[in-house]
Structure 1
Amino acid sequence: MARSAIGRLFAGLRCLPVGNTQLQTQCSRWSSERTGVEASMFSHKPRDFSLPNPSWGEEMKRLYKHYNLQSEEAAGQGEDGEWWTRLPSYNRSLKYATGGVYLSKMIQSKARLFTRNIRDPGAAFEYVLFFRNDKQRCLCIFQAGHLLEGPPGHVHGGAIATMIDTVTGTHASLLSAPVMTANLNINYRSPIPLGSTVLIESTLDKEEGKKKFISCKVSSTDGSKLHTEATALFVSISVSHLLRG
């Protein structure tokens, strides 16, 4: 059973995107949505949560179209690093429990990736991720729903931290999967109004062996307001680390 589990995990790692065609046809389990996002083992037609839905505001849809068009238009222009690729977003199927023991099917069928655990469109985390071809930058278009309220009328700081960890962790996973968060430093500058759309931009600062140092900022879509700044450290881990109890 252990050998079978490891085989499936390596199969997931081989799904890392190498181009638009593969990205659209295979689930990028480690690079999409931080660690281990994949199509549900109980679903033949997994839902891609990063596609537009009726809850998206006009600004969210405008930015999605902007970056998606950049990706499509640049598909045949070579690998100059300047174009963007959308990452699909699937719910996680939780396959491993503590000690490498499988969860029961009853529990496993209810497992949800945290940011996708509320299925009501627009109620919580609405976002789509793009990465630049040279993998030096990752960008997220984020719209916060009413269930993420902290200060009256504004987004909870923990929800902002979750999105920063999601974006920077996805970025680190693109560079070297699998990874785990070692440190996350956040400075909150200005509150984010509920229902508004913001940009979360992640930039690779440096790499030192297994360590990836990444900086991140959350800003208004026109760049006029800085909401949050952060730095993150991610460490590459081995497959055996994931299976260890």
Structure 2
Amino acid sequence: MAMCLLLKAFHRLTALSAVRRTRLCHPPACVLSRAMVALPSVLFPKRSDLSLPNSSWGSEMMRLYEHYNGQCEVETQGGQKQRGLWRRLPSYNRSLKYATGGAYLSKIIQSKARFFTRHIRDPGAGFEYVLFSNKEEKKCVCIFQAGHLLEGFPGHVHGGAIATMIDTVTGVHASLIAVPVMTANLNINYRSPILLGSTVLIESSLDTKEGRKIHTSCKVTSSDGSKLHTEATALFLSISVGHLLKGQ
């Protein structure tokens, strides 16, 4: 009799253990559903367009933004809306990252990475800018306002920050022609310093495209175009994804 009771108790424990293992290995559908919804928000946060107006934008930056944005859509004689010559280019704080050697960075590392000009989170403290492209005229225009963290000579924008924006604008312009591209040469002449907090225009123009080579010229002027701050030329090479994977 005692032996029978022991056997029954053993069978109950075995069955209970199996149920627990099943629950652990196969959680309820509602748990899986919640996990699948939460996972993308952790590893793949929703991208925010950082080229839209915010409270840090000065009146001159807003004026130029409205000027170019107003040319992205025009009204016909019949009162219909149609796409204009200019197009606003959205800007995000991250993009797909590649590691040399051909291996992708993990999704967790990618989620923490930041595009260089968008690594400062405080609005107005670093690089505030918005880009517009004109395919017909083969131009790209950037409205740029430099924050206090970009100071070089007291009260003025650091030359490296200006070079960064020139590389960004000409690089975006080149990528509209052939993507992806990488900078091969950047030649800059500084003409006049830029005051911190002021708004300037950075304009990139296509010079030539020869095979993989894309030559552009760029100038940085005051918001009304009357003063030349910087001028530059840039050479970009179009590359394949294979080049990126091989670290070439």
Question: TM-score, structure 2 length as denominator?
Answer: 0.77
Deviations 1:45-89 (A, max 9, x none): 32100000000000001100110011111697888xx72100000
Matched with 2:165 is: 163
- Counterparts of 1:181 and 1:153 in 2: how far apart (Å)? 30
Deviations 1:175-225 (A, max 9, x none): 011111110000000000000000000001111111111000000011111
- Counterparts of 1:70 and 1:141 in 2: how far apart (Å)? 15
Task: Identify if the C-alpha distance between structure 1 residues 104 and 140 changes in structure 2 by more than 3 Å, giving closer, same or farther.
Answer: same
1:64 equivalenced with 2:65 (yes/no):
yes
Aligned-partner residue type, residue 235 of structure 2: L
For the aligned residue pairs, the C-alpha RMSD in angstroms reads 2.0
Matched with 1:185 is: 187
Matched with 2:141 is: 139
Matched with 1:244 is: 246
* Greater share of helix: 2
Which contiguous aligned blocks of 4+ residues in structure 1 show a shift greater than 4 angstroms? 74-79
Task: Identify if the C-alpha distance between structure 1 residues 135 and 166 changes in structure 2 by more than 3 Å, giving closer, same or farther.
Answer: farther
Matched with 1:19 is: none
1:235 equivalenced with 2:237 (yes/no):
yes
Aligned-partner residue type, residue 90 of structure 2: P
- Counterparts of 2:195 and 2:240 in 1: how far apart (Å)? 40
Greater shift in the superposed pair: 193-202 or 89-98: 89-98
1:203 equivalenced with 2:213 (yes/no):
no
Distance apart, 1:104 and its partner CA: 4.1
Matched with 2:23 is: none
8 A contact 1:94–1:111 mirrored in 2: no
Deviations 1:10-55 (A, max 9, x none): xxxxxxxxxxxxxxxxxxxxxxxxxxxxxx9621x32100000000
Question: TM-score, structure 1 length as denominator?
Answer: 0.78
Higher relative CO (CA 8 A, sep ≥ 6), structure 1 or 2?
A: 1
Matched with 1:86 is: 88
Gaps of 5+ in 1: 1-39
